[in-house]
Amino acid sequence: MHKVAIVGRPNVGKSSLFNRLVGRREAVVADFPGVTRDAKEGLMMHQNHRIVLIDTGGLWSGDEWEQAIREKAEWAMEGAQAVVFVLDPREGLSAADYEVADWLRRLGKPVILTANKIDSPKHEVHMAELWGLGLGDPVPISAEHARGLDELMDRIMVHLPADEEDVPDVAPIRISFIGRPNVGKSSLLNALTGSERVIVADVPGTTRDSVDVEWDYSGQRFVLVDTAGIRKRPDTAIEDFAMQRSQTAIERSDVIWLVVNATEIGDHELKLANLAYDSGKPVIVVVNKWDLVPDDELKRTERELNEKLFHISYAPRVYTSAINDYGIHEMLAEAMKLYEKWKNRIPTAELNRWLGIWTVKQRVPNFQGRSLRMYFMTQVEIAPPTFAIFCNRSDFVTRAYEGYLLNRIREDLDLAGVPVRLKWKEKGAFNKKGKKGETDDDE
């Protein structure tokens, strides 16, 4: 698989170009500099080549993030076959542009000089100054209007070797970190991968976009998604958009790690857990910063956690510390276990055997001498496991009996911690056209 990095000073349109090339709005774009800080990866296909495109933060930004952004950009270019150096010639070259050009020459990577925001041929007059950088012919493009992208890709392809590797098209397991700002999501991702893949700082809101990190562990491919901290009420438009991206990451994920601070848990965590659980994804509560709890306070803190997390008691819990790697491997083991359960399909014969046992253990609802009759049960979907029970009257199903069946499904079918959906379908003389009952396990 090939790797191409996009670099440049702030606000020249790197993220817009990244989104245009990968064919979807992956990176947050705004009209002010400094939105992108981490290196964000995206997969694109071109002429049967699988290319990992990397969007980087604005270099030589002159703010407190300058050094961290530069380190992440250097990481992005370690295995890159080509570097797309994006500039805005309509604004003219700045001192930062010359600094980036000198830096790229020292790294010795093939560089494609890319003049963005050239919306029409009349704007190409602004490109003359770019020759002074000594990096070859600039390619005129407009990321916003998709102009010049074919020529840009032709220039990139010159530097990519023949793609002879037969890469199996197997989807990786996508796992997202979610949580309020500054609970340690980025630190946990770095600890898990054993690298400094994302920027970590004590400032809440350091991560401003969802960052996908491709990772291979013991032959299993993963995409670990570091999301922006979700606040109760976003303070700015960029925070509001970042929160929407975090919600999108939840929808696209297979498993969710809900990261909470061991010493600070409130109603916000319950809302986040419900958001994830309602999407049908398995949720694991990761209690981070466990090392900050004194030994004589461990039992009391755990009791408080049980009380505060009572409404999401269905979710498995892992205690971690990103600083000393405590609990890191347990996070991954729990996620893989829930993923297998989430994708599992149970034979119909086994389900009906259990249904017979459940009806014996708990009497079915009875209304004025007429009983609920359940004919058979089958699994109609996976991810999440969804079961249908065919019965005579769906309106005879009480909330208590439905809860009983959901508990039995989770415990007897080894689906603890996995969202379960239960649907009721009427069969028989009472069945009316278009009438059916459906129930979600959203406890």
Query: Does residue 392 have a known ligand-binding role?
Result: no
Query: Does residue 108 have a known ligand-binding role?
Result: no
* 22 and 49 assigned to the same domain: yes
For 309-365, give the DSSP string.
TGGGTTS-EEE-BTTTTBTHHHHHHHHHHHHHHHT----HHHHHHHHHHHHHHSPPP
Query: Does residue 13 have a known ligand-binding role?
Result: yes
* 65 and 129 assigned to the same domain: yes
* Model confidence pLDDT, tens digit, residues 350-380: 999 999 999 999 999 998 889 999 999 999 9
Q: Is residue 163 part of a domain?
A: no
Query: Does residue 58 have a known ligand-binding role?
Result: yes
**Domain of residue 222, CATH code:** 3.40.50.300
* 281 and 259 assigned to the same domain: yes
If you count them, how many residues does the chain have? 443
Report CA-CA distances (Å) from 63 to 19, 28, 34, 237. 25, 19, 9, 21
Helices 328-342 and 185-193 pack at an angle, to 10 degrees, of 90
Q: Please give the share of the chain, as a percent, with pLDDT higher than 70.
A: 84
Q: Is residue 209 part of a domain?
A: yes
Query: Does residue 103 have a known ligand-binding role?
Result: no
* 296 and 366 assigned to the same domain: no
* 142 and 237 assigned to the same domain: no
Q: Please give the share of the chain, as a percent, with pLDDT higher than 90.
A: 49
Q: Which of 61-65, 265-269, 313-317 has the lowest average pLDDT?
A: 61-65
Q: pLDDT-derived band of residue 74, with 50, 70 and 90 as boundaries?
A: confident
Q: Residue 204 and residue 230: Cα distance in Å, rounded? A: 11
Report CA-CA distances (Å) from 313 to 88, 306, 310, 440. 53, 8, 5, 17
Q: Is residue 425 part of a domain?
A: yes
Q: Which of 38-42, 155-159, 204-208, 431-435 has the lowest average pLDDT?
A: 204-208
Query: Does residue 420 have a known ligand-binding role?
Result: no
Q: Is residue 38 part of a domain?
A: yes
Task: Kindly tell me the sign of the dihedral angle through the C-alpha atoms of 22, 23, 24, 27.
Answer: positive
Please say whether the beta carbons of 367 and 338 come within 8 A: no
Query: Does residue 183 have a known ligand-binding role?
Result: yes
Domain range for 304: 173-342
Query: Does residue 117 have a known ligand-binding role?
Result: yes
* 152 and 14 assigned to the same domain: yes
Sequence-ordered strand ranges (E) for 127-188: 139-140, 173-178
Q: pLDDT-derived band of residue 32, with 50, 70 and 90 as boundaries?
A: very low
Q: Is residue 219 part of a domain?
A: yes
Query: Does residue 116 have a known ligand-binding role?
Result: yes
Residue 41 pairs with which residues in a beta bridge? 54
Q: What is the mean pLDDT of the chain?
A: 84
Q: Is residue 168 part of a domain?
A: no
Q: What is the largest distance, in Å, between two alpha-carbon atoms of the chain?
A: 92
Query: Does residue 137 have a known ligand-binding role?
Result: no
Query: Does residue 380 have a known ligand-binding role?
Result: no
* 365 and 334 assigned to the same domain: no
* 145 and 195 assigned to the same domain: no
